[in-house]
Homo-oligomer: A and B are copies of this chain.
Amino acid sequence: MKNKKISIITGVAGTIGSNLAKYLIKKNHQVYGFDNLILGSLKNIYDLKKNKNFKFFKVDVSNESHLQKINLKNIKVDYLWLLAANSDIRAGIKDYKVDLQNTFMTTLASLNFFKKKLKKNSKIIFSSSSAVYGNYKNKFNEKEKKLVPISNYGENKLLSELYIKRFCIFNKLKFLIFRFPNVVGKPFTHGVIFDLANKLKKNKILHVLGDGSQKKPYVHVEELIKCMFFLSIKKNDKHNTYLLGPNDNGVEVKEIAKNIKLLFKSNKKIKFGIKKIGWTGDVPIYSYNTSRLQSSGFSFKNSSLEAVKKAIREKYLS
């Protein structure tokens, strides 16, 4: 088809990648998906298996020689979605090489490899994170330059952002950097709802990491994808970095635990920790200044609490 766009997604078998692939195919994209299937899973892209507009490659995109073995023929790419990354913040606290390898090296190798496949006006889109801000006291905003992440997860998202930025300026390429808050929804691979729901099923008491006062914004993956797509097709965008999230102050972890208990119709006791943080490297309380996003023409319809509740229902039914 003449108007078919071509998208490459790295990390296609994760929560965001698999939802994005399905959404893009509906929007008439031909999608080439890559994943090493370590954190991602084949079952997340099972429905796409026979779709002629989807092609999957099991490959570690941080490994250039593995990439070189792939036959992509002469495809010319409109959108390069760089989602392949470590998503386990705690694993990266223990060993700095986890995020270095799975986030930074993955991004570098993908950029350098796929560069020659890009059309002249293609866009490179990177999934960054609120974690780049560290313990930043004010509402997070895109203009702040003094960022000191407190986790290797955040550090390697930031290193990747900076590398992409200079890479794209130098090579005259368009790019978008999206900083996500907590993302919830199907397929669940990790995160607070996944953890708490699993604990509730298994244990007699629901142990919550931290004192429950941690308060963060949440987005549901379905609405996140809509937002990413909306921004990706904007023409002559003067900004390249966006905070994606609802215009609220977030939801407390104790509220999430309470809602999980409620929806799971559980009588089990909740027991909170004593620390303000869930684990070392966790930023316990933050919120987004969403004015740049809103002036772009997109607003999240679901509040953080609504996103969380929707995700809990999905987790309950799954």
Q: Which residues of A contact B (CB under 8 A)?
A: 64, 96-97, 100, 108, 112, 134, 145, 147-150, 155, 158-159, 162-163, 166, 169-170
Q: Is the CB of B170 within 8 A of A148?
A: yes
Q: Known contacts being A96-B108, A108-B100, A112-B96, is A163 close to B170, with CB within 8 Å?
A: no
Q: Known contacts being A96-B108, A112-B96, is A155 close to B159, with CB within 8 Å?
A: no
CB-contact partner of A162 in B96, B100, B162, under 8 A:
B162
In the complex, what's the smallest C-beta–C-beta distance from A116 to chain B, in angstroms?
13
Residues of chain B lying within 8 A (CB to CB) of residue A100: 108
Residues of chain B lying within 8 A (CB to CB) of residue A169: 148
Residues of chain B lying within 8 A (CB to CB) of residue A155: 163, 166
Q: Known contacts being A100-B108, A112-B96, is A150 close to B163, with CB within 8 Å?
A: no
Q: Is the CB of A159 within 8 A of B163?
A: yes
Residues of chain B lying within 8 A (CB to CB) of residue A149: 166, 170
Residues of chain B lying within 8 A (CB to CB) of residue A159: 159, 162-163
Q: Which residue of B lies closest to A169 (CB)?
A: B148
Residues of chain B lying within 8 A (CB to CB) of residue A170: 134, 148-150
Q: Known contacts being A96-B112, A112-B96, A159-B159, is A166 close to B145, with CB within 8 Å?
A: no
